[in-house]
Structures are given as C-alpha cells and as structure tokens.
Structure 1
Amino acid sequence: MKRFLLLAVVASAHVVGGADYPLVVFRLTGSPVRNPEFFKATCEVHAKYKGAFDEFWFGGGKPLGKIEFCREDLRKMSALRPWVEKAGMRLSFQQGLTTGHDYAYVGKPGTQAAAGVYASEEAEPFPDDAWMVRKNGEQATGRCLCPRSPAVLDYESRFVKATLEELHPVTYWLDDDLRLGVGKVGCFCPRCLAAFNRKAGTALTRDALVKRLFEGVELDPLRLEWITFNEESLALYGRAARKAADEVMPECRLALQTVSADCLLNGRDYGPILRELSANGRVPAGIRPGHGCYREDRPLDFLEKALWCTREAERSRRLGNLCGTVCYEEETYPRRVLHKSPSAIVTEAALALASGCDTVSLYWADGEKPERIEDYERFVKAVARARGYFERLSASTLRTSLGGVARCPGSKAFEQDGFSLGDAADLALARCGIPVTVAESASKHKVWYATDRSRRAMTEADFAKAKTEGLFEFVPETHPLVSTRQRWLDEIDRASGGRFPVRIDLPHALRVLPRIDAEGKTDSVTLLNLSIGDTEEFTVKIRNPRGFKPVLASPQRPDVTLECVHDASRDELQVAVPNLAGWQICTIFLRKE
C-alpha cells in the first residue's frame, strides 16, 4: 500500500520583477501571409477591442529553408506590420520547428507541398551529421537537428539575423518546441557521444550508455550527468541566437518555448539557455511552457498542465533577471470539435495565471479555410471582457508563490529512472480540493508529502531533516471519501501548526490555488469548480490574510464583495462564497481597505 509523508516547513518567498513582456500574446496558427485578407479582417476586430491583446506572434519564416527563401516569407509579414500596429499590438516572432518535432520538412519531387513542407530546392542542405541520432542508432531526418552540430549553430545564427533584419520583432521566440526530450530521449550521434564521455569521464559506447540510462538500476548518477549534458546542449543553441541578435538588434528579447517542466531530459531547469538568451541578464529572457491540453472535452488535462507551469514558474523565477516572464502556451486550435469555446479559453488562461504564469499566449486557426469572422470576434470579445481580471491575477502571481502541499522529490530525483518529476499523487490531491504546489515553491507554511517513488530518492539526510522539522505519515485511498479528505486536512493543519494558507471543508471537487507573499501572507485564492454541477454556498478559511476585505472576481462577471468573519486568535478569515457554476473559475482578492 502506498503511503504519504507530511512534514511542516517554512521557506522565504522570492519575487523577481520581469521585463516589459506583454500580458496577452496572440497567434494565428496558419501563416497570415497565406491568407492576408482574413488576417486584415482579424486586425480590424482587434482594433475594435484595442487593449485586449498586446502582441501579435508571427509563427513562420520558413525554418529549415534556405535563408533567401526564408527572407521572402518574412518580407511578406513585414508588409502587414501596419495592420498589427493599427490594432494596437506589437509584432513578435516565433521560430518554427527545428529540434523538437519529428516529421518531414522536405516534400517529394513532383508532389504538391503540404503546409510546412518544402520543395527540395527550397530546403537548407544540411550535412548528414547535422541530424539527431536516436538511442537505437537511427538518424532522425525530420525536424530534429542536433544542437551541437556546427552546421546547425551556423544556420541558427543566420536565420536569427535574417529574421531581425527583415521583421524587427520586439521578441524572438525559439522554438516550437525547443527540446531534447518528449518523443526522443536526447541525441546519440558520434559528436554528442564523444562530448558526453569527455564530460562524464567515461568511455561508453552508445549501446552501453543507453542501457545504463534507460535499463539500469533505479538510481544512477550517470542520469544526472546526461541531464546536465542536455542542458549544455540547449545552451549552445541559445548562445548562437544571442550572438546573432547582438549583431543586429541587441535590445531584442530572446525567449524559448518548451515542454513540461516534469520532463528532465531537457535539464534540471532552463537556467543555462536562459543565461545565454538573456546575455547573462542584460535582456531578461522569457520561457513559454507549451504542448498538451488540446481539447476542452478533457478538462482535467488543464490541471496537469497547470502543475507543470507551477514548477516552471517557481524554478525560473529563482533565476532572477535571467527570466523576465513565464508565458503559458494555450493550445486553442481545433483538435476534436471546433475551437475551444471562448469561455473555455478564458478559464484555462486564468488557471495558468493562478498557477504561476504571468503572461499567456492564445491561438486561433485560420489557414486556408478560416472560421467566420463573427466567430473570431466572439473569441476576442471574451478576452477583452476578461482583461481586467487577468491583469489583477497576473499582478498577484508576480508578487507571490503558490502555497499548498508539495511532494518532496528527494535529493536523488535526478538520478532516478524515468527522467520525470511527475507523480499522479499531485493531481489526485489537487482534485480533492487540497491546495497543491511544487517543491520549488518559495511559499511559507507549505507542507511536504512524499510518495513511495520519491521516498526512494530521499537520502538519510533528507529523512533526518524531515524528522527534525516534523514528519507525519498518512495513507491515501484510491477513491477517497469525505472522511478521508477531512483526515488529510486535519493532518495538514497539524503539520503546519494551523498556518496552512487555506482550508475548505466542502466535500466538492475544487482546485484551490492560494498565492502567498514574501511575508507569508495570503494575497489571493483562486477557486476552480472541477464538477459539471454547481457548488452550494460554502466557507473558505483563509489563514494569514493580506487584507480583510475579500472581493470575488471572475473573468465573466462583475466583482462581488463577500461577507466574512475574522478570527483574530487564529488570524483566520472565514469567507462566505456563493455557489459556483460547473467549471467556473474565480479569485478571492484580499483588499486592505
């Protein structure tokens, strides 16, 4: 039977001011240069709701094409810049797929090229050793370039220069998505294998390395070496981009889009590449957690992706001026049935902001068969209506960390098999209405727990520290009842000495996200109803409140001042919350006056 461990711990919060990154970024997933008339019509809609969106993100430039071919596409987009600016937005750019997605980019001669697939005479003629090699020795000849290849780094430099010269974007994002993990497990080409052996002081063949990394013992320090090696590989790619930018637009912000923070194949964090992209903090870089959560008929995916974003936000903000924003990539193009509804788009964005992101990027599909412009306007109108709420929520996030229970991964987590920090226990607890955060969170009055897997990665020193701080053990249930949940809440209160930020005794599926400032005060509490049914009226007990005037805000409705009682003996604000509709999100902001 699995067992959880709880221990009380107090940490200090750390807040980093970001660069002037936009709150809401927008992208049309089909290149605007293929359908300029629809693009112009969308800009007219944005002009009608000016201020809802800050930046238009152009995803194009024909990456992996010959540079002269890329410039043609960039010039077409540059000619549309006046429409973007007329709509009150700035122009940014995202480089297309170069390292992460493994599918063809060169079409067969004599056949019509599909979107994103070029004729052979248009494609950059990369040498054979420019491509990543899979762990079985096969060459990945799709969009999987080795970031240690001199030819790849040279191409990246030339591509960045061409883009900045033609487009002059305020922000340049790498890549959709820049990654060595997810679908692949790193590059095993002769160049990378030799470099890794030099770093690790080993003489392993590819087969021997693969066996130790993926088939070996549960804990192996070589995995940590592989993780840090991949960090360094991505950093080389970032260095090439920054060097090129400094020759053309030194003030241009460089950023990267990537994948789940739980995936360790890209590194322990993105510190090395953020250092390169930001020129050691001179121009704070951005990071955009992407991929996943494509369909609104699977809303629990929102929770899982939001937990990734919490980890990314908490660990990236510890890097200071290396990171200027953590931007959520919301996948809002059609995947199952139509687009996500405007209300669903807004709800997901709000969850991301409450979870730790401070900016968001939203999509809409146009391509060669765009949706009706009136449907597009409904989407823009919904974002415009939610804009004020987004601003307040982002501001609260930037000055706080996410509070809750946090799973202790153990000091040897990076040596553990699987190359993942994820654990289903996080989501299980979050669905029960128990605030859940991540180990990297700096929030005070956070309570730790451990699972069977994380306990195996904990050292004797980890356990000794836990026992010193106070270690509590309880047994989870696969299908917890209300009595089980109450017992968990009681254990959490006991572990924290009654200082745990929020307690809700309502037996209802809720995601609860308390934001805790550097003084340990609760700044705001976001609530997401995880049921298709309404809640009844319920009480939220907020400990250490920043203010005593609770206001309930949501993306769709006007603010409501809430009734409350303050228990001074416990410094607990007992707030009466009205019923919440199914899958409705809202935030309790705590005003001082």
Structure 2
Amino acid sequence: MLNPTLPDQAWYSLRRTLPPWRFQETLEELCRLAPQFKIDEVIVKIDTEEFSHGHPSLEWAAAYQEKLFEVRRRLEELGIVYSLNPWITAGHADRGRDDRDRLPGLECMVGDDGSETHHCACFLSPVWREHTRKLWTIYAQTHPHIMWVEDDIRTFNHEPVRFGCFCPRHMKLFSERVGREVSREELVRAILQPGRPHPWRAEYLRMQQEVMIETVAFLAKVTHEVSPETCMGLMSSGPRQHCVEGRDWKRLAEALADHRPLYSRPPMANYCEESMRGFYYSQDSIKLTRHALPEGVIEQTECESVPFTRFSKSVTFTFLEIAVSMAYGSSGVTLNLFDHAGTPMQDEIHYGTMLAEKKPFLNELARVANRPGRYRGVKLLHRDEFSMRKVLPAGASYQDLAEDGFPMMSALESMGIPTTYEESGILALSGQSARMLSDEELREWLTRGVLLDGVAAGILLERGFGAEIGLKRIAPPAVRVQLPWVVSAEEFHNVEFGGAPRKYLTATLPFLSADGRICPLEAAEGAQVISSWVDPDTNRTSPAMIAFENAGGGRVIVHGMEYQSCCGVAFCHPFRREQLQSAIRYLGKGSEAMLFQCDGAYPLAWRRDMADSTVIGCFNLNLDAWPECSFDLGWQGAVPRVRVLTASGNWEDCSGIEMTQSAGRLRITCRNRVEHPFPLVLKLE
C-alpha cells in the first residue's frame, strides 16, 4: 500500500464517478489523464448524485464490484492509490426517491416539525442496518485505502427533514431515558423552550450523540471485518452546525477510526464560485474541525464544484481553494472537479493542467505548513456542548441552536486580524459562547486580554463580572427602531484607537436591511470610551465601544453590538480596521501575534511559527490588486532573513521588502503587487 501522507507533498485525491453505462471509456481516460494531472489518489464515488438509486440494491453493488476490482488494479499499475466513497450512508435528501418498497420495513427520518422522508434512513432502523452491513461488505471486499463516510452521517438537513430524528423508535428510546412516555411535540417544545434550557434538550442531544457514535462504530466494524487495513474517512458539515446534534467529536472519531488512522474531510465554503470571501469560512472550517478532532487525524479538505465546469468555478478559484487548504496545514485535498454524468474530463482539462502546473508551489507550501508548529492569532472558542447550554429567545427555531461565533471570526479576519483555536493571549467572545466558560476560566482570561461583543458582555455582567470588564449596565440587543433614541452612526473619536473629530461610520448594519442589533451600554468609572453612537445631529447618545484595564491587570474591550446580526458589508470599513486593530494592540499590550494591513480590502492573512522559522502570508480576496501590504508581528530576536515562495516552489530573496523593528515588534512592508490569483507567502528565518 502506498503511503498517502508524505510530509513534503500536497496530496491530490481526485473524486471521480465512473458510471456503469460508460465505465470502460471513463476508466481509460482516468488512467491516461490522472498521471498528467499529478493525481496521487483516486476516490471512486459510488452510485452518485443524479444517477443515484438511493440505497443501491445488493445485486447492483455486486455487479459494480467487478468494475471496482479493475479500477484498483489499473490504478496500482500507475502508482495511484485507490479509495472508495459510497454516495449514500443514510441519504442526503429524498430528491423524489422512495426506498420503502425496495427495502420493506425501512424506517425513515422524522423531523422536529413532523415531516417524514421516504429515502433518508433512521440510523436506528434494523432494515437499514442489515442492508448497509451487506452493502458495505461488498464495497470493503475491494480493499480500498480509505472508505469515506459522507456527511449524511448527521441528524440535520435530510430534506424534507430539517433537524433531528423524532421517529417512533427515537421517541421510544428517549421516553425510556426520561422514565415516561413523551410525544414529539412535547419534546420539541422542551428543546426550544425560551430562557433556561430544559433538561430534556441536553438529554435528547446526548441520546443522539450516543446513537451516532454507535453508528460510525458499526460502519467501521463492517469494513474492518473484511478489510482490516482500510482506513476510515469522515466528511463533516462544520463543528458549529454539528452542535445541534450534540456531536462529541473526539469520541465519534475514536469510534470511527477503530484503532487505525482516521481521515477528515472538512468542507470548504464555495460549492460554486460566488465570492472569494467564502474563504473566510473555508480557512475557519479547516482550523475549527481540526481543533474539534483528536490529534493525529489526517486532513484532506473538500474542494467541491457544483454543478461543475468553469461556469460553476474558475480554474483560478479552484487553485486558490487548494492553496488555502495547504496554507492552513491540510495534508491534501479531495477534488470533486468533474461531473457524475460520464462527461469526459478532457472537456475541462484546464483544471488538470492547473493541478500539474501549480504542484511545485503547493508541495512546498504543504511541506512547511505540515511541520510541527502553531498558527497564531486571536483565540476563538468552540465547545461541543454549546447547543445543550444555549439560552433561546421566545419563538426560536431548531437552527437557532447552532453555535455562535462565525460573524466574529469573519469580522476579525476581514480586518487583517488572524484568528486561531490554539493558545493565545487574547480571547474573542461573541454571542452565547461566553456561557461555555466556567467562572474559574473567565477569571483567568480576565487577567489577560478579552474582546466581547454586547451579548457576551451582558452574560459576563449577569454572572457578576461587571467590575472586571468596566461595565455598569448593558441593555439587551435591539434593532434601532426599538431604541429610545435615533442611532445614525458610530463616531470614532478616541485618537488612541484610530479616532479623530467627526469620524463617522454608518449604523445601518449589516446592510440596508438595518436589522443588526445594538446593545446600549453604560461604562464604569475608569473605562475609556473608544466610540459612541450618535443621533442625526451628531449628539452622542451612548458609548459604542469601551476599553478597560481591571485590578488584575487584564484588559477588556466591549463593543456594544450583537456581532451575530451586525457583521457584514456595512460593518467593514477602513475606519473599522483602525478601530479593531487598535483594540487588539491594546488587549495584547504590544505582544499580539500579527496584524495585517493592505492598500485595499478583504485580506486573509496567517502566521505559523515553527522551531527554526516563521511562515506568514496573505490572500487578496478582492479583485483590486494591492500595490503595498504590511505584516506587523510580535517578534523577539534579530531581524530575520525574509524569502518569498515562488510559483516554481522555491524560496528566493525578495526585492521590495522593507523591515523595521522596535519594542518587540517587527514590521515587514512588501511593495510588490499582490493580486487575487496568487497568494504572497514569506518565510522568516
């Protein structure tokens, strides 16, 4: 078996459907083009998408198995690894399919609203279990390197079911757990109860958690009984969303791995091109999924295109997806670049040409990013149990249980402030993430540096930490029309935080809809007001952002907005960049990891420290080129040698670089153009 985790390589795993009615033709083309494209592994997708039979019959699978044996043999002759990706586990969505007649007794999912699927199986269904056992035995007999489990291994978004499974079998199991019969309607009311969470919510999520752990253990056992050398792979849908099913990532990963290496496929944002700003989600998905999983899981991101061709996603954008994956430390990418209808890859050969041309650059980027080290930035928080503890408002939906935090991450990253889930001296809390920390954890963080949005600040005030955060009172978040005075703009008037007289930024947040919610606050004695809300006559009505240093030496910034609703296009501005970067400088006391600035907008910048070097870089997520950009780093020691990673995969001395150092900071200014088609990557030694 070839080793797919070479430390000096950007591993390309091509996901390819070979439809049975055009099998030989597509296989011959695959064997001809895969070496040209520098493909390292082919993941054969089984019974896929438009031509999926739902849960394939055993007869169909047995007939296709012979073709899989041929695929494996041909790929091994080429030195390419063979893996397998069954398209259906439970099922993603009905899409007009009904498997109940073909699988008599199949029990399907029932949603929180009573909707029922006709194809998406309940994970507790004995008929589904037995059929899957036989089906996956047929697949495992081909001895794939990895058996990939699709992201339908979840309890949400199984259209028409939105969330959970509330079928009779699940309701019976839950009733046994709580000691009395419970109806679906009664349970859903309890789960969505406003205010303090009903204990049934946590109990239901723990039940789902246990069902899913047992389910993935079943899939691994079926596979390993036939092919003990096969590794398992998990496609996922983002830890924030998986909170709504109570996923315990580490226990689930251990069960699926079954004492073998485990592969992870975190989702990238853009299934079609739309906007480069989708890379804010993508890099966060990589870092957050890695944080949630146990150490040692091998990561290959999902570079997905739907519905394929350059009308869906340009070649340049596809390259940038792969480059983001490598820059943020993934071992490889799974490439879903060609359709499932048997269309020749030759028709869109431009993708393959790019893969071959860019491989030297991507190899070196992957090599340095996979060395031992850590990503630096402002720390964000994730806790698996978030949905169990979130306090809901009246009228909340199941989707409201998802974890807060994405808008805070996106706001910081777009303002040139990298984020991390690793150790840091600064913590950013937004929404109800503040509820996930114990009083002891909060006390420790409040001796360091903490950035709070209005909702998080309100929670800390409620818990008795007002003296530590410089806050007397704060109102619940409200849209502007609900406030007792008109809010026209945020005035940036504190010169230490980028302010100046008559410096205003719209309060129409996050866009013209103006449904962003504001939290009017009253600062405690000793707090500095950084910015204020003003009325149409520019009279200040309430502080918007305050800074405070407490008796323990910790520093806190409170921004009186609900970031979950306020962050967006209108939130972003050069004034906002000055404000937030000044806030991070204040919180870090000059030791913050990195701040990035550009002559333009929408950067994505990173810093990774290793034992003997540091790699920094940036992506321009805007169509305007930057004639200049700069990295402001916390830095100890001598001024380093700086080299740039070229398209050929070599590190070369770079002209146009200027460095200045003072008081533990290093500023690197680059006066070479940075355009969106290619990132800037620098090594500091």
The question of whether the paired residues in 1 share the 8 Å contact of 2:268 and 2:301 is answered with no
Paired residues for 1:34-49 under 5 Å: 34-49=22-37
Residue number in structure 2 paired with 1:365: 338
| Pairing 1:425–2:408 present | yes
Q: 1:314 aligns with which of 284, 288, 291?
A: 291
Cross-structure match for 1:71: 62
Measured after TM superposition, the shift of residue 580 of structure 1 is 0.6
Distance 1:358 1:203 in 2: 49
- The one-letter code matched in structure 1 to 2:403 is L
In structure 1, what residue type is equivalent to 2:195?
Answer: V
Match in the other structure for 2:587? 495
Q: Are 1:56 and 2:59 matched, yes or no?
A: no
Distance 1:57 1:411 in 2: 30
Question: Equivalent residue for 2:132?
Answer: 156
1:379-458 → structure 2 map (5 Å cutoff)? 379-398=351-370, 399-408=372-381, 413-414=386-387, 415-416=389-390, 417=392, 418-422=400-404, 423-437=406-420, 441-445=421-425, 447-455=426-434
Match of 1:466 among 429, 433, 445: 445
Does the Cα contact within 8 Å between 2:338 and 2:345 map onto a contact in 1? Answer: no
Q: Aligned in 2, Cα 1:153/1:372: closer, same or farther, shift over 3 Å?
A: closer
Would the alpha carbon gap of residues 455 and 242 (structure 1) be closer, same or farther in structure 2, given more than 3 Å must change?
closer
Alignment counterpart, residue 603 of structure 2, candidates 511, 514, 535: 511
Provide the residue aligned with 2:12 in structure 1: 24
Partner of 2:116: 139
Q: Deviations over 1:534-586 (max 9, x none)?
A: 00122222334899333222658865423353637516362535211135323
1:226–1:138 CA distance, 2 compared to 1 (3 A): same
Q: 1:218 to 1:482 in 2, by over 3 A?
A: farther
Deviates more, 1:569-578 or 1:527-536: 569-578
Aligned to 2:578: 486
Local SS of the residue matching 1:527: strand
Determine which structure has greater relative contact order: mean sequence separation of CA pairs < 8 Å that are 6+ residues apart, divided by chain length.
Answer: 1
SS at match of 1:251: coil
How far residue 19 of structure 1 moved from its aligned partner, in angstroms, is 6.3
Which structure 2 segments of 5+ residues have no match? 48-52, 393-399, 449-553
Residue 155 of structure 2 is aligned to residue 177 of structure 1: no
Instruction: Describe the shift of the 1:295–1:554 C-alpha distance in structure 2 as closer, same or farther (beyond 3 A).
Output: farther
| More displaced stretch, 303-312 vs 402-411 | 402-411
Paired residues of 2:632 and 2:665 also in contact (CA < 8 A): no
Structure 1 residue matching 2:304: 3-state secondary structure: coil
Distance 2:374 2:206 in 1: 26
CA contact (8 A) 2:86 2:149 kept: yes
* Gap change, CA 1:278 and 1:467, over 3 Å in 2: same
Aligned partner of 1:572 among 646, 653, 666: 666
Give the residue type in structure 2 aligned to 1:303: Y
- 1:94 is paired with a residue whose SS is strand
CA contact (8 A) 1:277 1:285 kept: yes
Aligned 8 A contact 1:433 1:512 in 2:
yes
Distance 1:96 1:581 in 2: 38
**2:634 is matched with which residue: 500, 520, 543?**
543
Greater Cα offset, 573-582 or 325-334: 573-582
Query: How much has 1:513 moved relative to structure 2?
Result: 3.8
Contact 1:63/1:98, CA 8 A, preserved across alignment: no
Report if the CA contact (8 A) 1:295-1:336 is conserved. Answer: no
Aligned partner letter, 1:193: M
1:262 match: secondary structure: helix
Counterpart code for 2:152: D
Shift of 1:407: 3.6
Greater strand fraction, Structure 1 or Structure 2: 2
1:314 Cα deviation (Å)?
A: 1.7
Give the number of aligned pairs.
545
Q: Deviations over 1:351-397 (max 9, x none)?
A: 13333533211112244462561632x21121122223333333444
In structure 2, C-alpha distance between the alignment counterparts of 1:265 and 1:46, rounded to whole Å? 40
Match for residue 683 of structure 2 among 579, 589, 592: 589
Go from structure 1 to structure 2 and tell me whether the alpha carbon gap of 1:141 and 1:356 turns closer, same or farther (over 3 Å shift).
farther
SS at match of 1:567: strand
Indicate if the aligned counterparts of 1:97 and 1:177 stay in contact, CA closer than 8 A.
yes
295 and 367 in structure 1: CA distance in 2 versus 1, 3 angstrom threshold: closer
| C-alpha distance after superposition, 1:71-112 (max 9, x if no partner) | 1122223223344234431110011123241114747xxxxx
**Cα separation, 1, equivalents of 2:268 and 2:168:** 30
Question: What's the secondary structure of 1:135's corresponding residue?
Answer: coil
The structural deviation recorded for 1:26 is 0.4
Residue in structure 1 matching 2:187, options 205, 209, 220: 209
CA distance in 1, matches of 2:433, 2:61: 47
Alpha-carbon displacement from aligned partner over 1:224-251 (angstroms, at most 9, x marks no partner): 3333322222222211122222221111
Q: Aligned equivalents of 2:383 and 2:253: distance in 1?
A: 25
SS in 2 for 1:101: coil
1:231 aligns with 2:245: no
Q: 2:274 aligns with which of 294, 297, 318?
A: 297
2:41–2:82: 8 Å Cα contact kept in structure 1? yes
Larger radius of gyration: 2
1:526 to partner: Cα distance: 2.8
Aligned runs of 1:527-566 on 2, under 5 Å?
527-544=618-635, 548-553=640-645, 559-562=651-654, 563-565=657-659
Judge conservation of contact 1:409–1:455 (CA < 8 Å) in 2: no
State how far apart, in whole Å, the 1-side matches of 2:599 and 2:75 are: 48
The CA distance in 2 between the partners of 1:66 and 1:410, in whole Å, is 40
**SS at the partner of 1:80?**
helix
Change (3 A) 1:250 1:554: same
Query: Are 2:283 and 2:328, in contact at CA under 8 Å, matched by a contact in 1?
Result: yes
Query: How far apart in 1 are the matches of 2:384 and 2:335?
Result: 37
State the shift of 1:218 in Å: 5.9
**Structure 1: gaps of 5 or more residues:** 1-16, 108-117
1:464 Cα offset (Å): 2.7
